[in-house]
Amino acid sequence: MKFRCCQHLSAVEIASIQNSQPVLLVGSAVSDFIPTNLPSGGPVASDLLELLAQSGTGASWPPWLIADAGRLPFEAVLEAYPDQQKLPAIIIELFGNPGLRPNSLHSAIGDGLIQGLFSALVTTNYDLAFDNYFAGPNPSVSMICREQDFREWDGMPCRTRPYWKIHGSALRGSEDTIVVNLAHERRMDDWKRKFLEQLVFDRTIVFLGYSGRDFDICPELSLKKIRASVWLKWKWNENGERGLNANQRRVLENGAGTAVIGDLHSFLGRLCSRSIENHGRQTRSVNLADYFDMSLLPEWRVRVLDRLACPSRGLPMLVSLPRPGSIPSRSLRASLLAHAGRYRQAARVVESQIVDATSPTDQLTYLMNAANSWYVYGARFKSRSYLRRSKQLARLIGPNEYQQACLAKIELMYWMRRARFWKDVPFRRLHTWIRERATTPYRAAVEIFERTNLDNLYILQHDAERIGIAEPNGFAAAANLGFVALGLRGMQCLKERDRIMSLRRSLG
């Protein structure tokens, strides 16, 4: 991996990128500039967190908590919004202006695609700036947003250059295409994986105005055979992170990677061999109260505090929520109690949910949560009893993905506990046998959770690391990187506690 300043890139290096007809992966920063003036994900997340930090009863969040919350990805903040069904409509209201004007960056990128300087344009942006630039008859470019668009492009005898809105479009009527929260940022659908493979195979990828904090794209790219990658970073310190984040490093280490420090207009100007005017930023002010339901702020705030593992502020707020005795509120209470180290109380709350569960699927979830809660508390026999009940119920639910994932996860939990119980016993064959038996349920559960639930995927990865069977080069990265990226501070603490407990020396 190389590190270069934009102004120090030689003509030979620029020509090498140009001659490879690179694929561009473009993020929301390109739409910040006049006349487009759209807010990118980072500022919107920051404004949302500021709103959450000042809402509800009690004092505003202290600076250290706001700093912690600022590391949450935009998708994790939206994942905590209580009304998930409304999120696509909110995105369309925020970014779906049909009269949006492209800026000089859109024009340069669009011209580069039309003229064949770039082989493809992939963007995570919902907005319609590129759509409007390519509007009208343009036989050389095809916009792709849905699977049907891909099938039509894939079947062309002479394919056009693709403009792919990989996270969907804010065009009205396209709500079903929008990828907006962690539940959507699982492993890509098969058609997207196939399409990405076709675009990047043995190609150079250039990342422009893109943070890499998505959970679907970078892990997928790290598994593809790419020729080289060039990642433009505005500065070495961004969003409280110094250097490269985990996803950026993972992609750049896959093949010949170059991190370039510089601004969008200068770098793109050199890439396109033209002068690109920078008219500056004048991002429009967004009144978030016009888009989000302010009556949901208290619950939203508690959900974010739960993700940040901050029970001292989250627990007192629970009593102010509507229906504090409801099952969802009890889930929040159990989680916050666990963050506070009150594991026995947390387990009791989870047990009450088992009794009141309205479906076998919910009951299975609460049984597994109870098994985990009692295990952390130290009640091993009670935990094992709940695991047995979980396994029995999972077998009765029926042959579906959730049942299969739960059975595999339960089996892995059994082997993780055996591995930890016998970890100090010097019988190599015993440890080898445990790892061999645990590998099958681990891979079965990973295959499902990487397509359905990122939180569970990294919890599973953590258990596999405890056993010694985790596969670090697959879709999921190391558990600690996943916990950091997802904002799962409670799991980060658990991981760190495990590390400290495994030390074979005094902490003094």
Distance CA 341, CA 346 (A): 9
φ/ψ of 146, rounded to 5, equals -115, 170
User: What pLDDT, in 10s, does the model give residues 166-220?
Assistant: 999 999 999 999 998 877 788 899 999 999 999 999 999 999 999 888 888 988 8
Once rounded to an integer, what is the mean pLDDT over residues 427-455? Answer: 91
- 306: enclosing H helix or E strand: helix 297-307
> Long-range contacts: 388-393, Cβ < 8 Å, 24+?
390/364, 393/360, 393/363, 393/364, 393/367
2-50+94-272: what fold? Rossmann fold (3.40.50)
Q: Indicate the pLDDT class of residue 475, thresholds 50, 70 and 90.
A: confident
Bridge-partner residues for 281, per DSSP? Answer: 33
Nearest residue to 423 via CA among 341, 504, 324, 331: 504
Nearest residue to 85 via CA among 284, 243, 296, 357: 296
Distance CA 307, CA 297 (A): 15
Q: Indicate the pLDDT class of residue 88, thresholds 50, 70 and 90.
A: very high
In this predicted structure, the answer to whether residue 485 has a pLDDT above a threshold of 90 is no
Q: Indicate the pLDDT class of residue 247, thresholds 50, 70 and 90.
A: confident
Q: Indicate the pLDDT class of residue 253, thresholds 50, 70 and 90.
A: confident
- Distance, CA of 460 to chain centre: 16
Q: Indicate the pLDDT class of residue 237, thresholds 50, 70 and 90.
A: low
- CATH 3.40.50.1220 boundaries in the chain: 2-50+94-272
pLDDT at 284: 62
- CATH 1.25.40 boundaries in the chain: 311-500
Q: Which of 16-20, 56-60, 93-97, 250-254 has the lowest mean pLDDT?
A: 56-60
Nearest residue to 52 via CA among 304, 285, 239: 304
Q: Extract the tokens encoding 456.
A: 């569970």
Nearest residue to 288 via CA among 46, 34, 82, 79: 46
Q: Extract the tokens encoding 499.
A: 């590390």
**325-336: b or e for each residue (b if 16 or more CB lie within 10 Å)?**
eeeebbbbbbbb
Q: Indicate the pLDDT class of residue 376, thresholds 50, 70 and 90.
A: confident
Contacts of 226 (CB under 8 A, 6+ apart): 200, 201, 202, 203, 204, 205, 254, 255
The one-letter amino acid at 395: R
Distance CA 84, CA 381 (A): 38
Whole-prediction pTM value?
0.87
Q: Which of 69-78, 139-148, 262-271 has the lowest mean pLDDT?
A: 69-78
Nearest residue to 479 via CA among 497, 493, 459, 504: 459
Bridge-partner residues for 62, per DSSP? Answer: none
311-500: what fold? 1.25.40
Once rounded to an integer, what is the mean pLDDT over residues 272-286? Answer: 83
